[in-house]
Amino acid sequence: MKRAFLLFQILLLLFACAPGARAQGNVKSGPDPATIRDPELEKDSLHNLEVARHYFKLKKAYVAALRRCEEIDAGNPTFAKLDEVLFIAGESSLRLSENKGKQTFKGKSPEDLKLDARVYFSRLVTEYPQSAFRKQSEEELSALGGPIHKTAEAPKP
């Protein structure tokens, strides 16, 4: 009798827990890999972005701002604020091509820097259509001759 009662309780417990287990059975994969972000890498990239903003806005050190942005773009291509990184990189390249700022850029001609700016702005416009920086990027692109399509190669440091 005790054995039958114990068996009945076990079966009852199994049936009571079964609906919860079945409800979770449809999950075959985890979250989208594009949205998975390493917290430490995000923190480091955010720090680099803050430094790049400082160099760009306050110091007018466009070479330093561009280097920080290139570092973020190369090291963390899924960074949450990559649209701002691309904008600062594009603006820095454009201003360096016009010989503005407190630093001079050695190694690239003004035409190459303008091409780099077009590539950065084009990436921002196509990859981040909802970005707050899109309108400004489109204005800069129209002044530079329009967007560059995906066949163009990314700027090399």
Q: Express each pLDDT in 88-137 by its tens digit.
A: 999 999 999 999 998 888 889 999 999 999 999 999 999 999 999 999 99
Q: Please check whether residue 87 is in contact with residue 136, taking contact to mean a CB–CB distance below 8 angstroms.
A: yes
Higher-confidence position of 43 and 13: 43
What type of residue is 116?
Answer: D
Higher-confidence position of 23 and 116: 116
Rounded Cα–Cα distance for residues 141 and 91 (Å): 11
Task: Kindly state the DSSP code that residue 56 receives in the 8-state scheme.
Answer: I
Domain chopping of the chain, boundaries: 38-144
Evaluate whether the domain defined by 38-144 bears CATH number 1.25.40.10.
yes
Q: Which pLDDT value is given to residue 63?
A: 96
Q: CA dist 63 to 21, 83, 131, Å? A: 56, 19, 24
- Span 7-22, mean pLDDT? 59
Q: Is 50 exceeded by the pLDDT of residue 151?
A: no
Q: What is the mean pLDDT of the chain?
A: 85
| Cα–chain center distance at 25 | 33
Residues 6+ apart with CB under 8 A from 76: 41, 42, 44, 45, 82
Residue 141 CB-density burial (10 A; 0-12 exposed, 13-18 middle, 19+ buried):
buried
pTM confidence score: 0.75
- Span 28-47, mean pLDDT? 78
Q: Which pLDDT value is given to residue 149?
A: 77
